Amino acid sequence: MFTPQPVGHLSTPYKQTSEIPKGLGAKHEAEGVLEVLPEFEFGLTDIEGFSHLIMIWEFDRSEGFHLLGRPPSTIGRMACLPRVLRAAPTRSA
């Protein structure tokens, strides 16, 4: 069994989640800081030679979440369904 262990801490200028830009066209211009704990600094040796750094994080202050999401209303749910085109009734002569 894998037990995660923190190797550092991440901080951003945002104090509340409501401050984080969200939605289509949101600009993410803020910079954060990743502080690696001293006992893990050796693992970053020669990191300048890499183009990417993959981080896995845990939301340690997450509260009040729901595992099952719902559309905001019936209208929202119907908007996701394809429209069905129906032929106009034919007139008999």
| Residue boundaries of the structural domains of the chain | 1-61
Q: How confident is the model at residue 85 (pLDDT cuts 50, 70, 90)?
A: very low
Q: How confident is the model at residue 78 (pLDDT cuts 50, 70, 90)?
A: low
pLDDT value at position 36?
Answer: 92
pTM, to two decimals = 0.51
Question: Looking at per-residue confidence, does 81 or 62 come out higher?
Answer: 62
- Tell the residue number behind the tokens 């997450």, with chain if given: 62
Q: What is the mean pLDDT of residues 37-63?
A: 85
pLDDT value at position 90?
Answer: 56
Closest CA to 40 of 63, 7, 12, 83: 7
pLDDT value at position 75?
Answer: 55
Q: Where are the beta strands (DSSP E) in the chain?
A: 8-11, 33-36
